[in-house]
Chains A and B, each alone.
Chain A
Amino acid sequence: KLLARLEGRSSLKDLEPYLFAEEGSPVHGHVIEFHGPEGTGKTEMLYHLVARCILPKSGGGLETEVMFIDTDYHFDMLRLVTILESRLVQRTEEMIKQCLGRLFLVNCNSSTQLLLTLYSLENMFCTHPSLCLLILDSISSFYWIDRSNGGESLNLQEMNLKKCANFLEKLVREHHLTLFATTQTLMQRSTNSAENPFPLKPQHETDIDYRPYLCKSWQQMVTHRIFFSKQCNSGSSTAFTVVSCYLKRNHVVKLSFSVAECGVQF
């Protein structure tokens, strides 16, 4: 049974070769962070990945299960169905339902509920061996509320998120999952180092508007950080850019994509 679990889990290899800076990614155990301001395509990219996972092999998918944790009621089922319909050859209700049967959705209302939900989901990962993708959209939704609830102490403010990050790491490690999480660009990168409590990132990321604000436990467990941005052309199309960084080896890849009715297109 353990063997079956491991085998089921390693089939995420060809998830999206464009997004990752090296061969054979993402493998289990990786934690990928999508970061960017609003409207830059992070959620669209997640739908793209979800579709790729839940579609049957005959439709170009991996036929694996996905757990989607939605913290700000952002998930648009109708949009996902439109994407699935445009990728399936047989657009029947049966097929759509079959695909959707591989997707599990949870809504969380606070960082405490997120933590408790992660604990109760642990059981689910044990009983569903083909559940190898965990998506968290987004992990930064409770930032301001937590900060205000924690009062003056940075420790108290970050405590819930730190516990979530630690438990997520445990889940990813023990059940061989891959975790995708989105974080929102809530703050502008401060150019004045005196007022910026967080250290600025190294040289090659200076063209990216990234200011780390989540707790250290989260920042340290991220293996890939992907930055999203948007350029509005004078024409009618909007180009989205992705900069994908593999943090361990300092590998950076830059790509652009566009969003059509059928989803993300590179």
Chain B
Amino acid sequence: MVVLRAGLCPGLTEEMLQLLRASGIRTVVDFVSSDLEDVAQKCSLSYKALVAVRRVLLAQFSAFPVNGADLYEELKSSTAILPTGSSSLDKLLDSGLYTGEVTELMGAPGSGKTQVCLGIAASVSLSLKQHVLFLDSTGGFTASRLCQMLRAWTEDEEEQAALQRIQVVRVFDIYEMLSALQELRDRLSQQVVCSMGPLKIVVIDSVSAVVSPLLGGKQSEGLAIMMQLARELKTLAREYSLAVVVTNQVTRDSSTAPLRPALGRSWSFVPSTRVLVESKEATWDKATTKRVASLAKSPRQPTGIQVELDIG
């Protein structure tokens, strides 16, 4: 709700404001939705001046329509597909993580979500030489494991450079996460070229750890903050052409029902792609468990595809 004040736009003078306030028009919405002829008569203001102010206010506060052809041109040049470090996962995601979208990895504790996230961070930093922002809310980020992965792919000097491109921020509640995202947004919009080079991906492990404590109490407050976080993630992804990866827990309705993502119905609309990560006991003589990823939701591929992940 934006309140009208002098200087908000040219033509909106203090005396005009006084007259408008006297007839009950206080916010931009009030002004735009009122009948200007009526207002001109009641407040003895010039109709033309009011129309001009209305036009400027609308131009300032409403969103502009974009032509589909122009948007397509823009997307063709700004969308990138980022490799996840696992070729089978790339195949599952139709060649990799798309920028401009939120991808969700869901799985039970211990199923390997953090491993997949580390793999993604390592892969993007190493092969694309792009910066990675890793928001860790579970404390599961281990630099040594990341080193191990990088060492398996390359030698020393590159490994150091790759590590430097990954920025880890530890956040323990939703407000810290929102402020970390706000800081990112400020940096991106000012295009400050400091230690933070070109950023293409944000990995959040995990989003359920900071959001679950909010839900289930005074319902609508928690849900509103969760939806604000969702909106922030989607806006970042679209406006700055980033790929956003989040991890989430799973629940099920009863012991026989299929697994579904945690955080409820409202959150389920947020990611455009959802992958279920499970670790299954191998049936052959190897003692190792295998990790399986299945596609639960995708805007491009049919769901239900399953692949075996080749990360540790």
Contact = CB atoms under 8 A, between A and B. Distances in A.
Contact of B58 (A38, A82, A105, A116): A116
Contacts of B303: 39, 238
Given A144-B220, A147-B220, A78 B32 contact: no
Contact of B63 (A106, A149, A188): A106
B21 interface: no
Contacts of B230: 72
A176 to B, nearest CB: 19
A23 to B, nearest CB: 31
B68 interface: yes
A237 to B, nearest CB: 8
Interface stretch (A8-16, A119-127, A217-225, A243-251): A119-127
Contacts of A76: 101, 272, 299
Nearest to B224: A148
A120 B62 CA distance: 7
Given A77-B75, A119-B32, A163-B29, A238 B304 contact: yes
A157 to B, nearest CB: 9
B268 A112 contact: no
Contact of B237 (A73, A102, A167): A73
A117 B62 contact: yes
Contacts of B297: 38-39
A155 interface: no
A186 B33 CA distance: 30
B179 interface: no
B234 A117 contact: no
B72 A120 contact: no
Interface string B87-117: 0000000000000010000000000000000
A49 interface: no
A167 B223 CA distance: 27
Contacts of B272: 74, 76
A64 B234 CA distance: 30
B62 A97 contact: no
A96 interface: yes
A54 to B, nearest CB: 8
Which among B57, B61, B62, B231 has the greatest number of chain A C-beta atoms within 10 A? B62
A113 interface: yes
A77 B302 contact: no
A104 B265 CA distance: 29
A90 B75 CA distance: 22
Contacts of B67: 100-101, 103-105
A106 B66 CA distance: 6
B229 to A, nearest CB: 11
A148 B221 contact: yes
B170 interface: no
Interface string A117-152: 101110010000000000000000100110111000
A120 B28 CA distance: 13
A124 B65 contact: yes
B287 interface: no
B228 A145 contact: yes
Interface in B266-307: 266, 268-270, 272, 297, 299-300, 302-304
Contact of A108 (B58, B63, B225): B63
Contacts of B227: 141, 144-145
A186 B187 CA distance: 34
A215 to B, nearest CB: 15
B265 A116 contact: no
A1 B209 CA distance: 59
Contacts of A72: 230-231, 234, 269-270
Contacts of A237: 302
Interface string B139-151: 0000000000000
A1 B234 CA distance: 42
27 contacts: A39-B268, A39-B303, A76-B101, A78-B75, A79-B300, A82-B300, A98-B69, A101-B69, A104-B67, A105-B65, A105-B68, A105-B71, A106-B64, A109-B63, A113-B61, A113-B63, A117-B63, A119-B32, A119-B58, A120-B58, A144-B223, A148-B224, A163-B29, A163-B33, A184-B265, A186-B266, A238-B302
Interface of A: 37-39, 54, 67, 72-74, 76-79, 81-82, 96-109, 112-113, 115-117, 119-121, 124, 141, 144-145, 147-149, 163, 167, 184-188, 232, 236-238, 259
Given A109-B63, A144-B223, 19 more contacts: A39-B303, A67-B65, A72-B231, A73-B238, A74-B272, A78-B79, A101-B68, A101-B69, A102-B68, A104-B67, A104-B68, A105-B65, A115-B29, A117-B62, A117-B63, A120-B59, A147-B220, A232-B258, A236-B304
